[in-house]
Every structure is written in structure tokens, then in C-alpha cells.
Amino acid sequence: PHQFFYTPDIGAVITGLIDRPELFGVSYNVASDETISVHEFAQKVYAEFGMDKPKYMAVGKTMLTLLGLFSPLLRELKEMAYLQEQPVILDASRLRNALPALRFTSYHDGIKATVEKLRADIR
């Protein structure tokens, strides 16, 4: 399981914290209300594009090492690979207590809005 967030939602977090000076100097985890596997996330993205079955291939550390010889970005991905191999669940309770009215976009709605934006940009 992982947590992702819809990037536009971060604006509400930032403005909510900026509007409350008493919250300055405190660290917060920003985490979605939902958890999802990377595979399930990919399935939802493909479904939104109208495709039945995701067609992708996982690249292991050995392949990332080889590809990293030619690409600094892929070299960095190898260093961060553990984030895809282990659950990443953040405790956002401090943020929730500070901003109780805060709501995050669901994966369904965020994926739908992203795909719509991509389609509009292509046209």
C-alpha cells in the first residue's frame, strides 16, 4: 500500500498553514485519506484512458543500475526504489488536527481530472 496526493490539493495545505502563524515551525506529513497499491493505481489510470489492462513492465535494481550508467535520473530512481518495494504510509494526524476541515481529492477524481487535462493539452 502507498499514499499519493493530487498536487493541486497541496495549495489548500499551504494556505491553511500560512493563515495560522501559530502553526509555523512544525513539520507535517501530507498524506491521502486512501491507500492504494501501485498496481491498482496504474489500473485506474489505464481505465480512465479507456484501456482494459495495464501494459507496463517493472524494472528491477539491476536494470536501473545499467540504465543509470546513461541517465542520471534513472541512477537516482535506483536510490529511491525502496519506496516502491515497501509500504509508504504517512501519519498525517498532526496536519489533520491543525486543519480539520482539510479534504483531499479521491484517487478516482484526481486521475479523472489529470486525464482530462492531458487530453485538453493534446488538442
- Mean of all residue pLDDT scores within the chain: 89
Q: Is the pLDDT of residue 105 over 80?
A: yes
Residue 93: its pLDDT value, please? 92
Whole-number Å distance between alpha carbons of 66 and 71 = 9
**What is the pLDDT averaged over residues 67-91?**
85
Average pLDDT over residues 10-18: 92
**3-state SS, residue 2:** strand
